[in-house]
Structures are given as structure tokens and as C-alpha cells.
Structure 1
Amino acid sequence: MAASKYHGVELDPKTFRAEPNEPSPSPATLVRWLDDQGMVAKGMHLKWRYLLRMFNTPPVVLMFKDGSAGLFISADYSRGVVWLRDPMGDEGDPLVAVDELRLSQVWTGDVLLIRRSRTQAESESPVDIRWLTRVVMREKKSLRDIALASMVLSVLTILPALIIMQVINKVIGQHSMATLFSIVMIMITITFYETLLSYARRELVLVMTARIDSRISIHIFNRLLSLPLEYFERQQAGNVIGRVMAIYKVRDFMTGSLLRTFLDMFTLVLILPFLFFLNATLAWMVLAAAGAIGLIVVIFMGPVAYYVGRVTGAEMARGAVLYESIAGIRTLKTLALEPARRQEWDEKTAEVTRWKLAAGRMSNWPQTIIMPIEMFISRGVLLVGAYLALSDTTGGAVGAGGLVAFMMLGGRVASPLVGFARLLEDFTEVRSSLEQAGSVLNNPTETKALTTGMRPKIQGALSFIDVNFAYPGSPTKALDGVDFEIPAGTMLGVVGRSGSGKSTLTRLLQGVSRNYTGYLKLDGIDMREINLNHLRRSFGVVLQDNFLFRGTIRDNITAGRPGLTLDDVVQAARLAGAEEFIERMPAGYETFIEEGSTNISGGQKQRLAIARALISDPRLLILDEATSALDPESEALVNANLQRIGKGRTMVIVSHRLSSLVDCDQILVMEMGKVDDIAPHNVLVERCAIYRQLWLQQNRHMNPDRNAGPAPMLAEGD
């Protein structure tokens, strides 16, 4: 953190997550954390003599053997000392001069170089062909080694053909056993080295493709998580997944057919001159046939691409139906919607089958036209060569041995040429897949807001100053000139009819939407200037419908806070009213929650969500209809704890049940996106017509005059 301050970046230590079974943070763990915080970091192992030569550098972190660290400020080469500072001390503290002997006793040799990113980070680069090319080109060393191995293998490919030609032309004709034995030994040696080199090349390709695949997978997942919540709310989840998964078709292309064709081109470059040396006529015939294949592929590339695009779209639509059916399986079963969903699935499957059949038929045409040309390369060239050898009219006829050698190498030349032509066909499908993935991943992200901005110590004072907000595509404002202010530590209730803007207020507080006008301030600071990650970690949020991850109760309560102890978990569960049902479970806090929380009740799920929000002791807690799913007993338990929960923090409680808001310091009444009134309960009942009407509707049973009429009718009915 001290090194980052030099670059003007404030880091939040709460965002750091240590690796399991790691007693102290390693340079690699710190690098990953700093990269996530929008900085550029690199871990290195240095010797003393190199450290001593680091003049006029920004602060460098030195990793010590006991798990702590020191801040390298400068070095004095002439005196043989370096100047260090305690990273936990003040900037004005005096520097400490340390020589090699003293430093070697505590220093591991590891250093951490940190700087602020000045250019567009790779994580923010658009997902397109240029980005993928940069990902591949980061493996320059592996590509160089693979290319070198391919060139040597191409040379080794020519030697057996030459040897076979000599065997046919000379050994058999002269019946020389000694020459044959020598050739056999040479062939065995070549085969050994070719096998060994092929294994090495495959290993290099395997490692390189695994590294590329890891980079792509990590990037797209991080990019997906950095998209704003608003995007996911407007998109169908199955459609998003289908489009993102299309990136793997691009991955397979770049590490599969593209790489194979790239390697085959080395064979082409080395073997083609040798074929012209054997017989120029046959070599031109092979090139002409391969060129004809390429021309046919190019002609059919457009129509095939059209049908491939329709197949991709149909498959994504079918995948969306599958995802939606699985995600909503409880509703599907309880409402007996299986027939309707089967019909929709059958329709989508028929659509996919129809377009696949059309695409297959279109692809069948070029393959049918190409087949005779490929057969000519493998069979016709042999017959033409035999004719030339028999007629010997050109003066350059190839002998029997040369013809065999030509056929051995001719197929190796035609294969990369045909592969290159088909590569163009594959590229059309890859381009379509890349566009599909880019339509999701290239949307504006929250990365800048998550990695930059102020990280103030939050107290919880809120100010809304003429805040206006409208959802995309909506003709009306969800919030219209909202103005109110509450000090830190206030328990604020928010009420109003459906659609009045209650939940929209909480969305703006969470930073879900930042495209509002006016000013929303937290402790006097515009919330758009605050680091979004810091803001959300300082808040606790409980929604009406919360999601629990598959795992233990303890893991769910401490989600994102792995360093917290069981005592912290128990305290949070007690505040949320969840302790009593957790302790009744056989495994207690280690009870495993199934996917979809099917093995716990809705009320228990909600109380665990409240405990999860309280575990980090947030300065501002938002409860958005958090008690609506609770049974009366659980709701009464949570409401009874609200005063304890709200002690020392600001609370914003959105609820339709006004009885749970009676003890709030202030109650905000919303109506059609505007503030109708804000005051304590007793005041609102007297002066706010909307609040009074809502209160009377919900407490009609408390007024005997209103219930006096129906009673005799019920009695008469008996």
C-alpha cells in the first residue's frame, strides 16, 4: 500500500484474499491482487549486486523471510548500502541504511515492482481478432521453438524420399547389400530423431495451447464479471452464455487448424523447390490442382458462412430454452408446464435441425467438387508421371525412384495448400463466433469504477440533491428530483406504493446505476467519485430474493471474507436470528446447502443472507424487502434485533410492512419517483396522507369500527 501511494493509488487491504495454505503472501499472490486493483505489478528474484544498481527508481517492495516486507527507497553504490523504510510507518520516518550482510539475513531475494497502468489494460481491450493475436504472440518463445522444430522436421521429411529414390534406382539395380545396409542405418537414425523431435514439438504445442486457453478463459470470465448488473437484467441468461461460449470455437481454431496450417507451411516452403527439381511438370500440376481447390472454397465461402450463422443463432436460442427450463425447474414442475416447455424445445430443435441440414447440404457441394481434384493429386499425378517416364518426350522424365519420391512428397505439398484454402472457410465461422462473443464481452464494463476512485473511511451520512434517474427505454423517470438528507447512524425506512422508486433508491446507493443526474453524496463525497469495489464492500445488502452458493452455511456467511473466524460467523448469525435453526442442524455451521437452497426454507435462506451482509460489519446496511420472505416468528426476531443491528451504522430499510418501520429514526415516503414526505412514524401518521392510508390499510384489524359491519353477516351465514 505504501508503494502504491507513490503512484497515487489507494489500496484497500480488505480486498486482499490470501491463497489457502499460504502462511504469508507470495509475490505471485500479491501480483494477482495488484493487477485486480488496476496496477501493473511484477515479481522478481534479484541478487544484491542488481539491487544496488537500482538508482532513482520508484519504491520497490522487498519480501522478508518472516513474511513481512520492507520498502526499498534508494541505493548508494559507492558505499554499498540500500535505504529502506518501514511500509507501516509514516512517510516522514527516517530511512534505514542496510548493507549486504544485514539484508541477506532477512531478505528472501524476492522483490515486487509496482507501477500505475498508463495505457489501456489488456483486460479492457476489445475482444476481437487483434486481441486474440496479441494473446497468441505473448508465446513468442514457444512459437520460435515450434517453428525451428518444424523446419528441422521438414528437412528430415525430404531425406527418406531421397533415400528411397536411391534404393530403387541404384541398390535394387546393382544388387548392393552393403549400400542397402548403410541406407537402413541412416533411415533408423533419421526415424529416431524425427520421432524425438515430433514428440518435443507436440509437447511444445500442448504447453503453448494450454497457456493460451488459460489466458482466454480467465480473461472472458473476468470480463463477464466486470459487466454492470444492468446489462444482465436486460439480457436472457441462456443467450449470454451461448454467445460467450462461442469464444471457444475461436480458441479451437487458433490452437488447432490455424496452428497446423502454420506448421505445414514450413514443409511446403522446403519441399516445393525439391519437387520442381524432380519434375517441374508434375510440380505445376500439383500446384494447379491445389489452387483449383482453394478457388472452389473461396467461391462457396459466402453461402456457407450464411448458413453457419443461422445454425449458431438457432443453437443459442435452443440453449436459452434449456437454461431457462433448468433455472426455473421448480416453477415448471409446480405449474405442470412440462408440455409447453417440451413443445418450445421441440420447435427450437426443429429449427436447429433445419438450418444444420441446409448448412450441411451447402458444404457438401464444394466437398463433392473438390474430391476428384484431390484424387487427381494422389492418383492422377502418379499416372501422368508414369506416362512421362514411358514416353520420355520432354527430356526431363522422372525415373521410377524419382516418381516414388515425388509421390511421397507430393501429398505433403498438397495438404498445406488445401488446408490453407479450407482455413479461409473456417475463418468465416470463426469470425461469426468472435462477433457473437464480442457482442457480450465488448459492452462497457465497470472495470474503471472498480479499480479507480477514492477510498474514504465511510461513516454513513447520505445526501440526495435533485437526483433524477430513468431506466433505459423508459419514457418516465423512476426518480424525479429526489431531495433528502440523513446523518450517519440513522435508521431510515423507505415506503411507498409499487413503482414509487423505493428499490431504485437502493440501486443508486449500491452503484448499480451511475447514469443519474444531480448529486448523491456519501459523507459529503459524490458517490461517483468513490471506488466502486470499496463502496460495495463497505455496504451490506439484503434483497427480497437472495442467492446462496452451493457450500456450507459457514462458507456462505463468510463469502468474500475468508479470513473471518467462526466467532464472527456466530455473532452475525445471532444478530440475523439464524443461530437457533443453525444449531438445530446435525452439522451446525458445516451443514451443506444444496444448489438452489432446496434443503432449507425460504425464511432460513433469508436469515442467512442477513447474516452474510452483517459479517463484514458494514457502515451502511440496505434491507430491500429483506423480511418479506420471513415467517411471522422469524420476522419478529429480526425486527427485535434491528436496534442492535443498526447500532453504529446507517440503515436503509425498504419494506411494504409499515409495522417493521415504526422504530425507524426517519421514514421516507415515495410517490411516483418523488419524495412525498420524510419524518418519524408519529409525525407521518398525522400529516402525510399517503402514509396514513397505507398504515390504515395494513392495520385495519386494529380498528373495531371498520370490522363491526361484516361480523353479523358472518354470524348469519353460520
Structure 2
Amino acid sequence: MIKLLRHLSVYKWLIAAVLGLVFIQSMSELFLPTLMADIVDNGVVLGDTPYIWKIGGWMLLVSALGAIASVVASYYSSKAAMGLGRDIRRKVFNHVEKFSLQEFDEIGTASLITRTTNDITQVQQVVVMMLRMVVSAPIMLVGGIIMAVSKDAKLSLVMVFTMPVLIGSILLIFYKGMPLFQTVQKRLDRLNLVLRENLTGIRVIRAFNREPEEKVRLTQANMELTDVSIKVNKVMAFMMPVMMLVMNLTVVAIIWFGGIRIDNGAMQIGDLMAFIQYVMQIMFALVMASMMFVMIPRAAVSAKRINEVLNMKPSFLDEGTLKADREQGMLEFEHVTFSYPGAEEPALVDISFKAKKGEVTAIIGGTGSGKSTLVNLIPRFYEASSGVIRVNGVDIKEAAQSEVRSKIGFVPQKSMLFTGTIAENIRFGKQDATQDEMEHAARIAQAEDFISQMKDGFEAEIEQGGSNLSGGQKQRLSIARALVRKPDLYIFDDSFSALDFKTDAKLRKALKEETTHATMLIVAQRVSTVVDADRIIVLENGRIAGMGTHEELLETNEVYREIALSQLSEEEIA
């Protein structure tokens, strides 16, 4: 928590203003009971009306000063707390941007969303409370005790017996509530995860009639959060009744013993009234402190979760400085091995090949053979465990990540489109792309026909995740986005799977003519997609089981021949 609060240093003048204003507010509240005692003892009791008006005017002035200070303090404290939240969100986002996919897998997307939203909100709320109460509560507590003792020291002994009970109750509730707040955040993560899976996977859930089971899963996650939240609130619910009971018993005791002292002539009525107000201020100062105790444990848990993200170091850092432009379009793997964290077996073992400008290299293999893993190593989404990967003749570890990625046109296995227009999505590959460049890329990607049929053409809106487009349309727009970039290396990770054979063939023919200046790497499941490649790499269990042209592999490689026979007839192969 303290580590995050250091970010408030940029708001030091705002905080200084808040502390000053809260001090003024607290002193005005402490001064009001003394003025009231003066009115009663010297004005009401003696029947001096002009004196009542005079002191009443001072009371109004002091009250107005306190109210103004309170309003301005609230404004400045909110401004500082919201600024802190904004700064932390920016810092978390910028830090997460440096993560490899390994860190995303470790924390989980749902948890990252919760930490960036709910957890930071918890910290914001407690900062607002702290800025207002961290000065106010101690001043009211200490000032109230001093003023009460000054009114009647003997009557103050009543507080000696009641305050330990109140403080003990607060500490006990704090001790019981702290572990539960941690559980609340974990259960919130779980609910967020289940809800996210249900919303993003709604088509699959409905296709398999799994709505009842998913309702049960969501209900269970919801109930788990509800149960622990109820436990927390049960613990915290004891706080206010205990405090009110102690406060009311304290007031009864003060009135009882104060009445006796007034009877004996040791105390005046106005002083007793002021004394009661000072005791109430002392008690409310403890109530304010207890409210801090309610919020601080939860905020501390949230701060810990935020710091876990900020303290997590990426599995590899961008330390490269070289420019990847020695040999345009060259891609080379040299004895590359990769293992996922915690995996018993490597996902890729001793991968070596070289692809040059103008060549088409295809990767084919069964499910789980390591095809997507291999292409994810090239833009450094993951870091190879050993070996060297070169893009344009430069080791990708020695070049800046942004430099390496600027040379790549990447089309992922799962087409990802963003909310906005078709033009904005294509320009995601090249921000300053002209209309002619976009139309050319769409034509090559076989997307021109369906774009022209849409009401607004390139300005047609795409809904979140491209939900208003078919799988094939999304794939073609993803390909257009890569083409408009005109990179040195194209990577197509099973990017033609949603296309029919006719569109697939037309697209590959257009690509071959368009990408003569670059290297093309195609991951595919269909033999028909890779049949014309200059080089086909056959992967099996993370190892290269064969490499060559379609005809060479049919004759020499049993694994490739089995894949081909499962998709093509003997006549087609011949």
C-alpha cells in the first residue's frame, strides 16, 4: 500500500492544501462547543440577549468557515485520489504491454482486468478517506480530549473506562475482517473469469445446449462471492452497533455524573453541554478511524495485487538495439528449442531451416505438433529456450522488439478485429495507408467483393470482435491488414481455414504475385494450401519430421504422405 501511495508525491501541493483545510475544519468544530457553552452560561442563564446575538454570530461565522474548508478539502482530495488512480492504471497498462504471452498466461486476462479496474478503485476510495481523516481524526481525538479535560477533569474519568472497550472492539473486528477481504478479491476474479468465458463463448455454449450447466457454474461462482461478502459484512456490521452502544452509555454516564456535579456547584450547565459534545467528537473520531480500518484491509489486499503485476518482470526484456535490415526478407531458425513454463516436454526441439526473399515456406503437421508455437517465437511473443532466430539476418534478441515486428505482417490463427470501421481495421497495419492502398490490399485478400456490398463500404462499422462478420470475412480482413503493411516477412498462422477452396486458391495465387519482395511463412492444415510452396516443413511432436517440396515429401516422408492421403485421393496425389 505504501509503495503505491508514493505516487501521490506529484500531488504534494494538493495534499498540503487538503491537510491545511482539514485542520481549519477540525479546529472550527472543536471551537463551536466552547462558544455554545459561553452562550448558555453567560447569555441564556443571565438573560443577556445582545450577548446571545453576538456569540451566535461568531458561531455562524465559525460554522461557515468550517463548511467552506470541508467542501474545498473534499474537492482537492477527490482530485488527488482520482489522479492517483489514473496514474496507476496508466503505469499498470504500460507495464503489462511489456509482458510476453507467458506472463499473460500466468496471471490470466480476467484477473488483469479486475486488478486494473476494481482493485485500483478500492485504492482510490481509501485515499480519499485517508486524506480527509488522517488529519481530522487525530485532531478531533486529541483536541476533544484536551477540551473535555479543560471543562472538567474529574468527569473525564468516564472516558477512561469506555474508550478501551471501543478501541478493543475495533481492533478485534479488524483482525477478523482482514483475511476475508483477500478472499473477496479472489472470488471476484473467479466470477469475472466465468462471466467472461460465458459471454465470449456464447455461440459454443448454445450450440452444445450447455446453458443450464453454465448457469450452474456462474451461480456457484456468484454464490461463493456472495457468501464471503456476507461474512465480511457480518463482521463489519458489529462495528456500528458496538460503537453506538458504547457512545450512548458514555453520554448517559456523563449526564448522570455531570448532573451530580452541577448540583454540587462544581460545574455549569453550559460546560456539561460542551463536555457532551466533546465526548461525541472523540467517539466520532474513533468511528472515523474505524471506517479507515474497514477500508484499509481491502485496499491493502488490492494494493498487493496491483504491486504483484507491477513487480512482475517480463520473462525477457527488450534490450536489442540493432536494426533488422541486413538481408531483406530472410528468416532463419538455427537449432531452436522451446519449452512452455512447467511443461514436462519441450514444445519444439532443434528446429533449423532458412527461408529467403520471394520464397514460400509452409509448415504442416498434426494438432499439437508445434506449428503455432513456432510462428509465435518469430515476433517474440515467447522467448526461445535455446538456439537463434534471425529476421533479415539479425538475431531477434539483438534487435528491438518494435524493429523486428515492424518487418512482419502477422495474421493470427484466430482473427481479431477491433471496434470501428473496416478502414480503421485495415489501417491498423499501416496508420497512414491511403484509400488506394487499402483497396489494393482488400483486392488481394479477396475482401473487395463483400466490402463493396456493405452499405457504407470501407466506412462500414465492425462490432466488437467482428461479431457482424463471418469467419471467412474476418480472416480476409486480417490478411488485408497484414498486406497493407508491405512487410519483409508474412506469417499466416492457419489463416485460410475458414475460406472455401475456390477463394483459398484465388487468394494464394494473388499472394504469390504480391509478395515477390518478401518471404512468406504459411501454417496450414490443408495440403491443398501448401502444395505449391517452395519448401514444406513437416512437424511431428515438436520436431522436424521432413522438409522439401510436395513431390519430394510424397516420395520420402511417411508422415506427410499420411496427411496427404487423409485429404486427397490417390489420383489427386498422382
Q: TM-score, normalized by length of structure 1?
A: 0.74
Aligned residue-pair number: 572
How far 1:442 sits from its partner (Å)? 3.8
CA drift at 1:254: 2.7
Label 1:158 to 1:419 Cα distance change in 2 as closer, same or farther (>3 A): closer
CA shift in 2, pair 1:217/1:384, >3 Å: farther
Whole-angstrom CA distance in 1 between matches of 2:89 and 2:494: 37
- Identify the residue that residue 456 of structure 1 maps to in structure 2: 324
| One-letter code aligned to 1:474 | A
Match of 1:577 among 438, 446, 457: 446
Letter in 1 for 2:232: A
Pair 384,531 (structure 1): closer, same or farther in 2 beyond 3 Å: farther
Deviation of 1:421 after TM superposition, in Å, equals 4.0
1-side partners of 2:78 and 2:237: how far apart? 32
Q: Is the 8 A contact 1:244 1:436 kept in 2?
A: no
Structure-to-structure mapping, 1:266-665, within 5 angstroms: 266-286=139-159, 289-392=162-265, 397-445=266-314, 448-449=317-318, 453-457=321-325, 459-559=328-428, 561-665=430-534
Classify the secondary structure of the residue corresponding to 2:325. coil
Deviations 1:444-492 (A, max 9, x none): 337942x764343372312222111112222222211112222344321
Q: Against the structure 1 CA distance between its residues 630 and 339, is the aligned structure 2 distance closer, same or farther, given a 3 Å change threshold? A: same
Question: Among the aligned pairs, what percent are the same residue?
Answer: 25
CA distance in 2, matches of 1:534, 1:563: 18
Q: In structure 2, what residue type is equivalent to 1:408?
A: Q
1:236, distance to aligned residue in structure 2 (A): 5.0
Please give the secondary structure, in 2, of the residue aligned with 1:382: helix
Shift of 1:551: 1.5
TM-fit CA distance, 1:243: 4.7
Contact 1:245 1:437 (C-alpha < 8 Å) held by counterparts: no
Contact 2:130 2:292 in 1 (8 A): yes
State the SS of the aligned residue for 2:59. Answer: helix
The separation in 2 between residues aligned to 1:564 and 1:333, in whole angstroms, is 40
Q: Structure 1 residues 284 and 452 mapped into 2: Cα distance closer, same or farther (>3 Å)? A: farther
Query: Residue type of the partner of 2:402?
Result: N
1:376-407 CA distances to partner (integer Å, 9 max, x unpaired)?
34443333333332235xxxx43211122222
Counterpart-to-counterpart distance in 2, 1:436 and 1:314: 13
Query: C-alpha separation between the residues in 1 aligned to 2:515 and 2:477?
Result: 17
Q: 1:49 corresponds to which residue?
A: none
From 241, 258, 261, the equivalent of 2:130 is 258
The whole-number CA distance in structure 2 between the counterparts of 1:232 and 1:512 is 11
Match of 1:207 among 69, 75, 79: 79
Q: SS state of the match for residue 663, structure 1? A: coil
Q: Aligned pair 1:143/2:15, yes or no?
A: yes
Q: Is the Cα contact below 8 Å between 1:544 and 1:629 reproduced in 2?
A: no
CA displacement 1:563-585 (0-9 Å, x = unmatched):
33322221221221111211111
| Structure 1 segments unaligned to the other structure (5+ residues) | 1-128, 706-718
Q: Under a length normalisation based on structure 2, what TM-score does the superposition of the two structures give?
A: 0.91
Give the distance between the partners of 1:322 and 1:288, measured in 2 at CA: 51
Q: Is the 8 A contact 1:291 1:417 kept in 2?
A: no
AA in 1 matched with 2:432: G
Structure 2 gap segments, 5+ residues each: none
Contact 1:150–1:267 (CA under 8 A) maintained in structure 2 = no
Partner amino acid, structure 2, of 1:267:
M
Change (3 A) 1:495 1:654: same
Partner of 1:676: 545
SS of the residue 1:456 aligns to: coil
Opposite residue 669 of structure 1, the aligned amino acid is V
Q: Secondary structure of 1:255's match?
A: helix
AA of the residue aligned to 1:274: M
Structure 1 residue 141: Cα displacement? 0.8
Give 1 or 2: higher helix fraction: 2
Q: Distance in 2 between matches of 1:370 and 1:378?
A: 12
Distance 1:227 1:600 in 2: 30
In terms of mean alpha carbon deviation, does 204-213 or 309-318 score higher? 309-318
Task: Find the residue that maps to 1:583 and give its secondary structure.
Answer: helix
Q: Which amino acid aligns with 1:585?
A: M
- Cα offset, 1:555, TM superposition: 1.2
Q: Contact 2:360 / 2:519 at 8 angstroms: preserved in 1?
A: yes
1:700 aligns with 2:573: no
Q: Which amino acid aligns with 1:485?
A: K
CA 1:365–1:243: 2 relative to 1, 3 Å: same
Code of the residue aligned with 2:81 in structure 1: it is T
Cα distance, 1:601–1:578 mapped onto 2, change above 3 Å: same
Return the offset for 1:295. 1.6
* RMSD (CA atoms): 2.7
- Partner residue, 1:227: 99
**Corresponding residue SS for 2:468:** coil
Q: CA deviation at 1:602?
A: 1.1
Identify if the C-alpha distance between structure 1 residues 655 and 523 changes in structure 2 by more than 3 Å, giving closer, same or farther: same
Aligned-partner Cα distance in 2 for 1:629–1:537: 27
Alpha-carbon distance between aligned partners in 1 of 2:300 and 2:73, rounded to the nearest angstrom: 28
Q: CA deviation at 1:648?
A: 0.8
1:139-188, Cα deviation, whole Å (9 max, x unpaired): 11111111111222223223322221211111123332332332233333
Q: Relative to structure 1, is the Cα distance of residues 233 and 629 closer, same or farther in structure 2, using a 3 angstrom cutoff?
A: farther
How far 1:300 sits from its partner (Å)?
A: 3.4
Change (3 A) 1:438 1:667: same
C-alpha change, 1:655 and 1:366, in structure 2 (3 Å) is same
Instruction: Output the CA distance in 2 between the equivalents of 1:303 and 1:191.
Output: 39
In the alignment, is the contact (CA less than 8 A) between 2:22 and 2:132 conserved in 1? no
Shift of 1:329: 0.9
C-alpha distance in structure 2 between counterparts of 1:132 and 1:403, whole Å: 45
SS in 1 for 2:45: helix
1:615, distance to aligned residue in structure 2 (A): 2.0
Q: Distance in 1 between matches of 2:407 and 2:283?
A: 64
C-alpha distance in 2 between matches for 1:398 and 1:219: 60
Amino acid at match of 2:196: Y
- 1:325-369 superposed Cα distances (whole Å, 9 cap, x missing partner): 111111112222111112222333333343334334444445554
Q: What's the secondary structure of 2:41's corresponding residue?
A: helix
2:182–2:301 CA contact under 8 A, matched in 1: yes
* Aligned: 1:158 with 2:26: no
Corresponding position of 2:90: 218
Match of 1:182 in 2: 54
Counterpart code for 2:57: M
**Within 1, Cα distance between the matches of 2:207 and 2:296?**
46
| Mapped partners of 2:57, 2:332: distance in 1 | 88
* Offset of residue 437 of structure 1: 4.0
State the secondary structure of the residue aligned to 2:154.
helix
| Pairing 1:691–2:560 present | yes
Counterpart amino acid of 2:206? K
* 1:285-335 Cα shifts (integer Å, max 9, x gaps): 336533422222222333323333334433332332222111111111222
Whole-Å Cα distance in 2 between the matches of residues 415 and 218 of structure 1?
37
Q: Distance in 2 between matches of 1:184 and 1:173?
A: 15
Give 1:609 shift.
Answer: 0.5
Using the alignment, how far apart are the partners of 2:325 and 2:119 within structure 1? 41
Cα deviations across residues 5-54 of structure 1 (Å, max 9, x unaligned)?
xxxxxxxxxxxxxxxxxxxxxxxxxxxxxxxxxxxxxxxxxxxxxxxxxx
Whole-angstrom CA distance in 2 between matches of 1:295 and 1:581: 72
Q: Secondary structure at the match of 2:413?
A: coil
Q: Which has the higher contact order (CA 8 A, sep 6+)?
A: 2
Contact 1:298 1:425 in 2 (8 A): no
